[in-house]
């Protein structure tokens, strides 16, 4: 196995999320779908996109796509229940 393949597998886990086997599998589908499109449309930029994807997921989605889905689901539950969103705070004079 080449180092590029090992790095791609680590990116699958980062994109999908860590913690279960299902999350990296979801990441593998997402990354390989993007790879299929990018290698046809912009083959010379695929590795740059892969690196950018890894950086962005590491910085803004530390729990991966499944973590994002869980956060959105929790936010929808709070709004449906009428509970205030803890991230939105009223400014007090």
**Region of 32 on the Ramachandran plot (φ > 0 left; ψ -120 to 50 alpha; else beta):** alpha
For residue 44, the 8-state DSSP code is G
Decide which of 85 and 11 is more confident: 11
Q: How sure is the predictor about 84, in pLDDT bands with cuts at 50, 70 and 90?
A: low
Q: How sure is the predictor about 91, in pLDDT bands with cuts at 50, 70 and 90?
A: low
CB 27 within 8 A of CB 65: yes
Mean pLDDT, range 37-51, rounded to an integer: 91
Per-residue model confidence (pLDDT) at position 33: 93
* Predicted structure pTM score: 0.71
Q: How sure is the predictor about 89, in pLDDT bands with cuts at 50, 70 and 90?
A: low
Buried b (16+ CB within 10 A) or exposed e, 11-47: bbbbbbbeeeeebbebbbebbeeeeeebeeeeeeebe
Mean pLDDT, range 76-88, rounded to an integer: 71
Helices (H), 1-93: 3-16, 22-41, 46-60, 64-81
The whole-angstrom separation of Cα 87 and Cα 12 is 29
């Amino acid at each position: 196995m080449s180092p590029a393949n090992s790095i791609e597998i680590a990116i699958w886990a980062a994109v999908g999320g860590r913690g279960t086997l299902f999350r990296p599998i979801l990441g593998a589908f997402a990354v390989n779908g993007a790879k299929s499109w990018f290698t046809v449309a912009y083959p010379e930029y695929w590795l740059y996109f892969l690196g950018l994807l890894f950086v962005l997921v590491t910085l803004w989605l530390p729990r991966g796509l499944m973590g994002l889905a869980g956060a959105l689901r929790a936010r929808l539950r709070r709004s449906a229940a009428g509970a205030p969103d803890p991230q939105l705070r009223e400014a007090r004079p």
